[in-house]
Amino acid sequence: DKKITIAIDGFSSTGKSTLAKQLARHLGYVYVDTGAMYRAVTLYAMQNGLIGNDFFNREGLIEHLDDVTLQFLYNPVLEFAEMYLNEVNVEKEIRTLAVSQLVSRVAEVPQVRHKLVEQQKHMGEAKGVVMDGRDIGTVVFPNAELKIFMNASPETRAQRRFKELTELGQVVTYDEVYKNVVERDYMDTHREDSPLVKADDAIEMDNSNITKQEQLQKVIDIVNKML
Ligand code: C5P
C-alpha cells in the first residue's frame, strides 16, 4: 500500500483543517494541525507572563522553550487528536480570539519555528500524513507528493471564523474577527522566517464558492490518481 504525504497550506480560516481532517479520515492517515502547536506555545507564553497585548518578552520565551512539551493525544469520543501543553489538555484554550491575536508574533520567532518544525518532520516520517499550516509544503515537507494551497476572500473567512467562535460560546464581534484575519494574513506573509507563500508545485484552491463536500471530493479524486 503506497502512502503519501499531503501538505495543506493557506491563509487563516480557509477551511484547511476541516479539509485536512476529512481527508485524513477518508484515507486512514494521521492528521496534524500545526497551527495548534503555535497556539499552544503562545498560550504557554501568556500563562507565564511572557506576552500580552502591549509587550512580548521574546528572550524569555526563547530561554524557556525547553520547558514546553507538546503532544497530540487521540480522543476516541471526538475522533480526533487534541493538543496537550505540558500534559494538560488545552484544546479549548488555544482556540480563543485572545490566542489568535498574539499567535503570529510568537510564530515569527525563528527558535520557536525550529523547535516545532523538527517535531513536525518527525511526526511525518512514516508518511500517511495530512498536515496543515503555513509552511508545510515549503519548509516542513518540501518533497510532499501532494501540496494544496487554500484561499478564500477575507470576508468569507472572517464570517466562518465568527460563526465558529460564536458557536463555541465566545463573545466576539464580526469586526474584531475580521481585523484579526487581516492582521494575521499580513504578519504571516511578511515575516522573515518561513513566510506564508504558495509552493511552486502546490495546487491552488479557492473555496469561497464551493461546498466542503465538493472540495473534499476534488482532492480525493486527485489523491486516487496518485495512489
Ligand atoms: O492554522 P491556525 O490559524 O490555527 O494558525 C495559527 C497561527 O499560527 C497562524 O496565524 C500563524 O501565525 C501560525 N502558524 C505558522 N506556521 C504554521 C501553522 C501556523 O506560522 N505551520
Residue 10 CA, ligand 1 centroid: distance in Å: 9
Which residues are CB-contacts of 186 (< 8 A; sequence separation ≥ 6)? Answer: none
How high does pLDDT run on average in the chain?
A: 96
Residue 207 is predicted with a pLDDT of 86
The 8-class DSSP code of residue 141 comes to: -
pLDDT in tens, 133-153: 999 999 999 999 999 999 999
Residue 4 CA, ligand 1 centroid: distance in Å: 23
Which residues are CB-contacts of 61 (< 8 A; sequence separation ≥ 6)? Answer: 41, 45, 50, 51, 106, 109, 112
Residue 208 is predicted with a pLDDT of 85
Amino acid at 223: V
- pLDDT(79) > 90: no
Please give the share of the chain, as a percent, with pLDDT higher than 70. Answer: 100
* Bridge partners, residue 129, by sequence: 5, 30
From CA 167, how far away is CA 51, in angstroms rounded?
27
From CA 55, how far away is CA 45, in angstroms rounded?
11
Whether 148 and 132 have beta carbons less than 8 Å apart is answered as no
55 is written with which cell numbers? 509587550
pLDDT in tens, 162-220: 999 999 999 999 999 999 999 999 999 999 999 999 999 999 999 888 889 999 999 99
How does residue 9 score in pLDDT terms, banded at 50, 70 and 90? very high
- pLDDT(159) > 90: yes
Q: Take atom 5 of ligand 1 and give the residue whose Cα is closest.
A: 35
Query: Nearest to residue 79, comparing CAs of 126, 24, 34?
Result: 24
From CA 57, how far away is CA 176, in angstroms rounded?
25
- pLDDT(60) > 90: yes
- pLDDT(80) > 90: no
What is the average per-residue pLDDT within 97-108? 97
The 8-class DSSP code of residue 224 comes to: H
Three-state SS string across 151-165, please?
ECCHHHHHHHHHHHH
Q: Parallel, antiparallel, or unpaired: how do β-strands 55-56 and 51-52 relate?
A: antiparallel
Collapsed DSSP state (helix, strand, coil) of residue 79: coil
The 8-class DSSP code of residue 50 comes to: S
Residue 5 is predicted with a pLDDT of 98
pLDDT in tens, 114-140: 999 999 999 999 999 999 999 999 999
Ligand 1 atom closest to Cα of 16?
1
Whether 132 and 144 have beta carbons less than 8 Å apart is answered as no
Angstrom distances, CA of residue 149 to CA of 76, 100, 131: 29, 21, 12
For 19-48, the DSSP string reads: HHHHHHHHHT-EEEEHHHHHHHHHHHHHHT
Residue 84 is predicted with a pLDDT of 98
Residue 222 is predicted with a pLDDT of 96
The 8-class DSSP code of residue 140 comes to: I
The best mutation among 103, 114, 120 to test binding of ligand 1, ranked by most ligand atoms within 8 Å of the C-beta, falls on: 103
Find out whether 153 is annotated in a ligand binding site.
no
Residue 42 CA, ligand 1 centroid: distance in Å: 11
Amino acid at 95: R
Find out whether 10 is annotated in a ligand binding site.
yes
- pLDDT(8) > 90: yes
Which residue ranges have their beta carbon within 6 Å of ligand 1?
A: 12, 34-35, 38-39, 103-104, 107, 133-135, 184, 188
